[in-house]
Chain A
């Protein structure tokens, strides 16, 4: 192997490095090291004059490898590799010796140690670079189709953004209708938009869009592949209704003898075992819920089949699996509410309801046709108590985080209640009011100033039934008084928690969830709509509690990330990945088991490991696991590691 001519460039980073490391001394000790053809230092290597210095040295000294001794590779590796390439040096012959985060910063105040360590770091990287091989990025094909999981507002918005840009979208929704929790709401806060006017147009656009294939009542079965090339299989659950025959007459719905709690109306109304979740549901087709259906429970009941003039009921229908190929995936699995029964001291009572149940009471299409009535006896409630932070900000009994939307929707609830029952009194128990977006603070203040809603600063400790009233024991910490209110209806603003299915889905997708089950983003500040798995993005409340405008923004953000990915003809992948020497590999499969990216397979014929380079992230776990040394990481071979370790530990042996 031809010996490389290496240039070493030591950066001062102002005083960040030079304040602790004696840069002149470093250059002095490095310049005669084997392989080094040039060494110099400069105040800011990343600046234009600094980069010019590097270019000049490459040209004049005929360098074919450079070592930039400066900050972390996450900051400027890309900068200097680009520079190397533009000067005709293979970018993988440009290495970073991190003498800032790993040397000058932790050793501030000890110039001698820091200088010695900086020299050792640079020497170690020189030994690595001497053994680097020339590489070119891998070219990976790109399927320009997208899978969106979840068809609430986040999923719908992302799907529409992408489909409108001309790419095909596969939209999967587990429930029989699209629309998500937003479809259950009455109207929005701040603007007072009625939900059917807001969500229905979105839903019908989805259903009729030529670029969107909608799989409602379906679930993700399995995913394989990698960014640009995912193979997904989708389980279409049996609806027991033959779509080609059904003419949506609705006679089956009336015929069903089963009455069970409606999920859409949050158990405030009933539905049959064959049902359409709500009036504006899309797709507008009946589904048999086999859990509650008498026929599937072993009974002889065939009421719907007998009622159907089209003979569309098919009890023998089975789940089908559909295969799709996509290049990117958006996870928009949304939220659920912390259960009302989660706080034991709040009585389990028909008149203690959660926020979504109150939305159904307020909704014109709801069980009370929009009249606010008590679930227990149907009377108009005259005293209504709203509780904020139920389960939220309560690490002992619920979750420690703030659910972000409750302050605003409780204000809206109080307003809508006052509009429905002008002579009624609304009380809100709160801990803090978080109204931190455009117009929000003014909106909350309006409830106090104009609607005369009484805000009480404190939590409630107990709710119990006392005749036809609910006694609410709370406190007002501003006066230091314990308070009792005889309420007719209590509405709990329960915490937003992740969709319970999100964890299982995350496992299939090989993405990470946090301690609560929310999908973890690649970087909470800088990469909020991407996951750590390339090609998988997230949108809406699957990530964290948020309101409608934030959800729409995150969905459009995820869509635009995918559109920017699709603007390329093909994908480039880092070539610094694992490679197998098939002559040495004995097919033990330990690398297959250790790989977190599912990038390694065993060749069934040759019985040796095979790395899918497009999936491999270059983490190196397989290389250290391999007992025979057949698996090596390109440009981080075992030989390179040992050279680096020898230098790093020279002082101690």
Chain B
């Protein structure tokens, strides 16, 4: 599939918002991949952290929205500490989550979680999950 890239996609509202909320310069990333190499959650991700940054650089919001990666990010900040270019990926992931949540879209729905699971999970994990994954 061929995608269209133009100055409009590169400077879209999405790119501006991510930059503004995260305070990070997306173009500082030179795609070395060190974030993905050390990510402890990468086993479960469909797209790696460096790919998310690349999609954000290109302004491809829909591809990011279709990926689970930002929701799986544990905010452990390993990537942030090791990035050679000083990009705080944790903040970028958080910015992307916030942009989705502000549209009133929940990633986790309390009603959809099976009762058995709820009874097994520690309360604090549920609370944390709702804080991070719901609008």
Contact = CB atoms under 8 A, between A and B. Distances in A.
Given A396-B86, A460-B37, A461-B37, A482 B32 contact: no
Interface residues of B, number: 22
| A389, A475, A483 pick with most chain B CB within 10 angstroms | A475
Contacts of B34: 458-461, 475
A461 B85 contact: no
Interface centre among B31, B32, B33, B83 (most CB of A within 10 A): B33
A480 B53 CA distance: 12
Nearest to B38: A461
Interface of B: 30-39, 42-43, 47-48, 50-51, 78, 82-86
A459 B84 contact: yes
A482 B33 CA distance: 9
Interface in A389-447: 389, 393-398, 431
Contacts, number: 71
Interface in A343-395: 345, 389, 393-395
Interface centre among B36, B43, B51 (most CB of A within 10 A): B36
A394 B39 CA distance: 19
Q: Which 5 A-B pairs have the closest CB atoms?
A: A461-B38, A458-B33, A461-B37, A475-B33, A394-B84
B48 A480 contact: yes
A475 B50 contact: yes
Contacts of B32: 389, 393, 431, 458-459, 477
Contact of B37 (A398, A431, A474): A474
A472 to B, nearest CB: 9
Interface string A479-496: 011110000000000000
30 contacts: A345-B82, A389-B32, A393-B32, A393-B84, A394-B84, A395-B84, A395-B85, A396-B85, A397-B84, A458-B34, A458-B36, A459-B32, A461-B36, A461-B37, A473-B37, A473-B38, A474-B33, A475-B33, A476-B33, A477-B31, A477-B32, A477-B33, A477-B51, A480-B36, A480-B47, A480-B48, A482-B36, A482-B39, A482-B42, A482-B43
Interface of A: 345, 389, 393-398, 431, 457-462, 473-477, 480-483
Nearest to A477: B33
Contacts of A458: 32-34, 36-37
A477 B84 CA distance: 16
Nearest to A457: B33
Residue from A394, A462, A482 having most chain B Cβ neighbours under 10 A: A482
Contacts of B78: 461
A397 B78 CA distance: 14
Contact of A462 (B37, B51, B83, B85): B37
A403 B21 CA distance: 35
A395 B43 CA distance: 29
B79 to A, nearest CB: 8
Contacts of A474: 33, 37
A389 to B, nearest CB: 8
B37 A475 contact: yes
A651 to B, nearest CB: 44
Contacts of A460: 34, 37
B50 to A, nearest CB: 6
Contacts of A394: 84
A467 B80 CA distance: 29
Which of B32, B37, B82 is packed against the most chain A CB atoms within 10 Å? Answer: B37
B39 A480 contact: no
Nearest to B51: A480
A235 to B, nearest CB: 40
Contact of B82 (A398, A461, A481): A461
A138 B43 CA distance: 75
A475 B79 CA distance: 13
Interface-central residue, A457, A461, A477, by most chain B CB under 10 Å: A461
B82 to A, nearest CB: 6
B90 to A, nearest CB: 15
Given A431-B30, A480-B48, A482-B48, A475 B84 contact: no
Nearest to B79: A461
Contacts of A398: 84
Contacts of B37: 458-462, 473-475, 482-483
A226 B54 CA distance: 55
A477 B50 contact: yes
Contacts of A459: 32-34, 37, 84
Nearest to B32: A459
Contacts of B43: 482
A42 B32 CA distance: 57
Nearest to B42: A482
Nearest to B82: A461
